[in-house]
Amino acid sequence: MAPSWRDAILETLRASRPKRVAMDEIVAAVRRMPVGHLSDFEFNDRLAEALFVLEREGYLRRPKARHLRNSRTDLPQYVTAIRSDEDEKQTARRQTLDSLRNETAWEPTHMVVFAHTLRTCEELERALQVNRYLIHRPPEPVLLPHRERALEIFGKEKALDNYVRRGLFGGRITLAILDCFYCPEPLPFRPLALDPSDTADKPLLVVENSNTYWSCCRANATLHRYAAIVYGQGFKACAAERAAETASERANDGLAEIEHQTAAKGIRYFGDLDPTGIAIPCQINRYREERGLPPLEAERALYRALLEKNLSVPYSRFQANDPTLARDWLGPELASPYLSNVERVRWPQEGLNVMDILDALR
């Protein structure tokens, strides 16, 4: 057998992720080699001989069944690569998994029910860590924030972040079983009063930028219109396609906590008047709608005042405009002057100072 044929076949076997390699791939690889003036019959005969030699040397296995051979060339439809090291590793891995499933003393209340069904090393390793905690759990455990408990159990403080709602192992192990609770990232806010009876049934007002946050806080101290002013720091991530759902989830978790503390009713929003500033609350509302939550409402009195004062600035970078989104958020009356100019300029919410806000909301 010419070395080049051997090399081509072995390289094809090594390059294939599946062990089963179609004969078409091997034929194509060999034909790229200099094969000389061979007829199809001679080529197939020589290739069959090459496969026979490589099988005898332990590199591959040809199927035995006659129906798995090509009736015209008599070559097999495929060969199976033999990878002894890999096979040994897989055998050892299966033995380790079986041992962990069947020989571990699983905690009887929760873990023993499903531990034998776990399939991967990652799942079993996580299950063993949970199992150790539950077996050695104190009689009256202290309820901890989820990241503190995650660090204790898994050695990684964020290990439970993706499981705060549905729990581990398909919901079989919840945060409550691990004696912890979900802590959303807090949003800065200034309540109108510390007593919830003074803020009950008033709406929250969310603003995106820090300077406008302080101006709205000062105005609310006079107007007593909102249960609290909320600084929506980081809400901008909601407008980014990739991070939208995670950012919306964090935003709503933080808002839910403030609503609970202040007994607020309803959430108003005021942001920059530009495509990104409109996309932020609309993305949050898509998330809320999917979960049956009431939507954020545009604080249109402030948007109207912002357009009327008209402290507009040109764009520093391009923002794609969505007219339908603008009409849905602002309403037809405000959307008309906005859409007439939005391709050229934007209106930062900092265009309104505390006196403008007082005048707009009185």
- 314 CB contacts (<8 Å, ≥6 apart)? 344, 345, 346
Query: In the predicted model, is pLDDT for residue 1 greater than 70?
Result: no
Contacts (Cβ under 8 Å, ≥6 apart) of 115: 101, 104, 106, 124, 127, 131
pLDDT digits over 251-283, tens only? Answer: 888 899 899 999 999 999 999 999 999 999 999
Domains of the chain in sequence order: 3-82 (1.10.10), 86-181 (no CATH), 189-361 (3.40.1360)
- Residue range 190-194: average pLDDT? 94
- Name the β-bridge partners of 21: 79
pLDDT, averaged across the chain = 88
Could you tell me if 229 and 205 are in contact, meaning their C-beta atoms sit under 8 angstroms apart? Answer: yes
Q: Which of these ranges, 112-126, 157-171, 239-253, 314-328, has the smallest mean pLDDT?
A: 239-253
Give the pLDDT band (50/70/90) at residue 234. low
pLDDT tens, 309-318?
A: 999 999 888 7
Spatial neighbors of 73 by CB under 8 A, at least 6 apart, are 40, 44
Spell 163-190 as b/e; 16+ CB within 10 A means b.
bbeebbbeebbbbebbbbeeeeeebebb
